[in-house]
Amino acid sequence: MLKKRDLIVPEQLVGVDPHVQEMMAKLKVVNRNGQAVKIGNTDTCEKVLICGIPGVGKTVLAKCVYNKLHHLHDACSFLEDIQEEIVSHGILSLQNRLTSDLHNRNAPNFNCQDSALAYIQSRFQKKKVLILLDDVKDHEQLSALVRKLDWIGPGSTVIVTSQRHNVLQNVNGAEMYALGTMKQDKALTLLCKHAFETDSPPEEFKELATKIVAAADRLPLALEKVGKSLFKNTKKKVWMETLTALQEAPHKSVREAFLKSYTTLEEIEQNIFLDVACFFNGMDKRIPYYMWHDLQFSPTVSILSLRAMSLVEIGEDKELRMCEILRNFGREIVKSENKNEPCQRSRLCNHKEALDVLIGRKGTEKVEALGLDFADGSEGNIIFACDQFVGLQKLRFLKLDQADIQGNFMDHLSSLRWLDWRGCLKDHLNLKLQNLVILDLSWSQVNQDWRGWLLLVKARNLKVLKLTCCVQLTSTPTFPASMELERLNLEGCSNLAVIDPSFGNLTKLVSLNMKGCSLLGDLLILGPMRSLKELVIDGTSISQINFQGDSMRKLKFLSARNCKNLTKISNSISYLKSLTYLSLDGSKIKTLVESIGSLEKLKTLSLKNCQRLTDLPDGIGRLSSLQLLDLSDTAIQKLPTSVEDLKATKVLWVRRTFTHEEEEEEEEQRDFSSYRGWRG
């Protein structure tokens, strides 16, 4: 019999037990007296993937689970650091180890992969085995190693660790466990165990230790290595220097772990990763997509790959999200392109370095993106001359941020795809815009007579125009017929009262944000917008929602929150056949029209804080796709019986119900699939 021994795990384990318990639940483990006695369904092979960024503790967790389960299996195998082993010794070496482990060291030594796979298929279908495959790159690598996990016998358990969350995506019955960074208190304990051999820091080191935990982004590998480097070191200067170093770049061991993943990325994936790390974290992904598409970076596929590797996440509002430690790693990659000469790097996101390159006229064709940030206003109104941009022939992204430019730029910046010039003070644009895809002039002093609009006729590639909080705008600019603009943001243009007739030229517009344009009072002035998919009119002065026929037939998202004059929804709402989201929060409507039931694709209907809304029409029951109905803070006392037909609606929130005489507080959550009637 194979001697089954526990795998070695770190002595200083902190915060692992809750994860082990969740893993046991996913594997359907039955415990008795604190010991596992059965795993899931004995007729099947249980399979689970542990995924997460490098250094998060995937292998440690997998080992802990392995140690609790190995006694329930006939044979066990642990293949560690598979990616590195394949590079060093090849897949066949791993296959021989696997077959040897699972056959009590009596398996033959194979000299070809197909023979090893045939042996795995024929010998282990009736054997109850435990297999831990550590650091699998992707599904193709897993398939090359064991071909099909279904070849493993019933009652077996397979645990896979990987940075990618889709490794077992096509494996029937496989579970996934995404492992995140540690909780703050546990992270502090882990650091202290290694640095002080205690669970908490001495009082005089508490603040520094807490900051180091934050700088390490609560990543176990970083905390362990940093803690060991500070072991019993009571010199505050050393701790402060460690903190500064961590705030600038991840610990060496973490960098090495991240670098392994980074080098496996395609070049366009690396470009997008570095763009997000340097400039676009927290930004709506749909905006940089336009630039990446224009540069043929295949953003949809590339972001899917980065997400699968846990290098980038997409938030609830479609924003790109990257954790602090990964951002620092990405910026360190850029810095390593040339540590001493910033002008020889691809991206300049450090304000001081970017400013130095421009002022010193050091720009080179190596620089693809440059960002300035005069947030504190300490440097005053800086003016750049055109010759300071001469060397930046391949610049595709430029953030000027309240700076000014002078001179003729028509022969410069011809590769520019994205100009972020928030706080622009200039009365005209003297730029070559034929390749420009995104233009952001938010918080600028532009108005409808601004001479820069004349250049828009040449910006035929422009897809995104952002004019947020341009309070001097009283009318939209004149849009040329040749314009193919797809996204227009006028949010916060509080003096905007007129929509220029040329607005009708924007036939390709898919997103229009007019939130806070409080002087706009009629949707009909927009005219037909047959490509529009997203319309935000929060805080405008509209009194009714009315549409001309199928003028917005592709509209999917309509937000009309806090429109204090809104009292009527006309029957024309039924024309919005593609609508999936409708929010009328905070309006003064008293009822909804029966025709709202025609919105067959509507998934979310939010009527929160519509305090005059007293009832819903029977047509509400025809919203067959409805998933969320929010009636918080309304005056509704009774629901129509037709809600019984809302089989897909999962949630109904009623937090506060207003009556004519008083206000009642209550919490309700209802599932209409089991609805039997409800009265307020």
Q: Mean of the pLDDT values across residues 489-505?
A: 94
Is 126 part of a structural domain of the chain? yes
Is 220 part of a structural domain of the chain? yes
Q: Which of the listed residues 279, 307, 335 is the one where a domain comes to its end?
A: 335
**Average pLDDT value over all residues in the chain:** 90
Domain that holds residue 275: 265-335
For 92-138, what is each residue's pLDDT tens digit?
999 999 999 998 777 888 999 999 999 888 888 888 999 999 999 98
Which of 221-235, 380-394, 514-528 is predicted most confidently? 221-235
Is 122 part of a structural domain of the chain? yes
In terms of Cα–Cα distance, which of 409, 454, 419 is closest to 440?
419
The pLDDT score that the predictor gives to residue 472 is 94
Q: Mean of the pLDDT values across residues 613-617?
A: 92
CA atoms within 13 A on the CB side of 274: 27
> Beta 418-420 vs 438-440: how paired, if at all?
parallel
Q: Mean of the pLDDT values across residues 607-612?
A: 94
Same domain, 168 and 194: no
Same domain, 202 and 157: no
Q: Is the Cα dihedral 614, 618, 619, 620 positive or negative?
A: positive
pLDDT at position 473 over 50: yes
pLDDT at position 672 over 70: no
DSSP-assigned letters across all residues of 147-170 = S-GGGSPTT-EEEEEES-TTTTTT
Q: How many CB atoms lie within 10 A of CB 127?
A: 16
Rounded CA-CA distance 622/642 in Å is 8
User: Percent of the chain scored above 90 by pLDDT?
Assistant: 70
Q: How many CB atoms lie within 10 A of CB 172?
A: 10
* pLDDT-based confidence at residue 230 (cuts at 50, 70, 90): very high
CB under 8 Å to 149, separation ≥6 — which residues? 45, 47, 142, 158, 168, 171, 174
**Which has more pLDDT, 410 or 62?**
62
Return the structure tokens found at 13: 């384990």
Same domain, 59 and 147: yes
The pLDDT score that the predictor gives to residue 409 is 81
For 576-592, what is each residue's pLDDT tens digit?
999 999 999 999 999 99
Q: Is the Cα dihedral 267, 268, 269, 274 positive or negative?
A: positive
The pLDDT score that the predictor gives to residue 234 is 87
7 contacts 66 by C-beta, under 8 angstroms: yes
Rounded CA-CA distance 635/664 in Å is 10
Same domain, 174 and 61: yes
Same domain, 41 and 134: yes
For 644-655, what is each residue's pLDDT tens digit?
888 777 656 555
Beta strands in 219-295 (DSSP E): none
* Minimum mean pLDDT range among 329-333, 386-390, 504-508, 676-680: 676-680
Q: Mean of the pLDDT values across residues 336-364?
A: 96
Same domain, 34 and 137: yes
- DSSP-derived letter for residue 277 is I
Return the structure tokens found at 95: 């296959």
CA atoms within 13 A on the CB side of 673: 9
* Minimum mean pLDDT range among 57-61, 408-412, 477-481, 598-602: 408-412
526 contacts 503 by C-beta, under 8 angstroms: yes
**Burial of 587: CB neighbours in 10 Å, binned 0-12, 13-18, 19+:** buried
Question: What is the distance of C-alpha 379 from the center of its chain?
Answer: 34
H or E stretch covering 213: helix 206-215
The pLDDT score that the predictor gives to residue 22 is 96
Beta strands in 297-413 (DSSP E): 313-314, 320-321, 347-348, 369-371, 383-385, 397-399, 404-406
pLDDT at position 673 over 80: no
Question: What separation in angstroms does the CA of 41 have from each of 45, 46, 156?
Answer: 8, 8, 10
Is 201 part of a structural domain of the chain? yes
pLDDT at position 674 over 60: no
Q: Which of the listed residues 163, 178, 193 is the one where a domain comes to its end?
A: 178
* pLDDT-based confidence at residue 670 (cuts at 50, 70, 90): low
CA atoms within 13 A on the CB side of 640: 17
The pLDDT score that the predictor gives to residue 606 is 96
Same domain, 173 and 24: yes
Give the CATH number, domain containing residue 321. Answer: 1.10.10
Same domain, 168 and 204: no
Same domain, 226 and 203: yes
141 contacts 264 by C-beta, under 8 angstroms: no
CA angle (272, 276, 281) in 5-degree steps: 155
For 272-299, what is each residue's pLDDT tens digit?
999 999 999 999 999 999 999 999 999 9
* pLDDT-based confidence at residue 678 (cuts at 50, 70, 90): very low
Tell me, letter by letter, the H, E, C secondary structure of 32-101.
Answer: ECCEEEEECCCCCCEEEEEECCCCCCHHHHHHHHHHHHHHHCCEEEEECCHHHHHHHHCHHHHHHHHHHH
**Burial of 282: CB neighbours in 10 Å, binned 0-12, 13-18, 19+:** exposed
Rounded CA-CA distance 439/511 in Å is 15
The pLDDT score that the predictor gives to residue 3 is 44
For 74-97, what is each residue's pLDDT tens digit?
999 999 999 999 999 999 999 999
In this prediction the pTM is 0.89
Number of domains in the chain: 3
* pLDDT-based confidence at residue 676 (cuts at 50, 70, 90): very low
For 415-466, what is each residue's pLDDT tens digit?
999 999 998 877 777 788 889 999 999 999 999 888 888 887 788 899 999 9
Give the CATH number, domain containing residue 121. Answer: 3.40.50.300
Is 495 part of a structural domain of the chain? no
Is 287 part of a structural domain of the chain? yes
365 contacts 391 by C-beta, under 8 angstroms: yes
The pLDDT score that the predictor gives to residue 1 is 35
Is 568 part of a structural domain of the chain? no
User: Percent of the chain scored above 70 by pLDDT?
Assistant: 94
Return the structure tokens found at 160: 């896979």
Q: Which of the listed residues 248, 281, 304 is the one where a domain comes to its end?
A: 248
Q: Mean of the pLDDT values across residues 189-202?
A: 95
**Which has more pLDDT, 375 or 561?**
561
Torsion of CA 428, 431, 435, 439, to 10 degrees: -40
Is 431 part of a structural domain of the chain? no
Same domain, 52 and 167: yes
Same domain, 209 and 306: no
Torsion of CA 223, 229, 231, 237, to 10 degrees: -100
49 contacts 167 by C-beta, under 8 angstroms: yes
| Residue 291 φ then ψ, to 5° | -65, -45
**Which has more pLDDT, 676 or 599?**
599
pLDDT at position 50 over 80: yes
Q: Mean of the pLDDT values across residues 180-195?
A: 96
Same domain, 208 and 227: yes
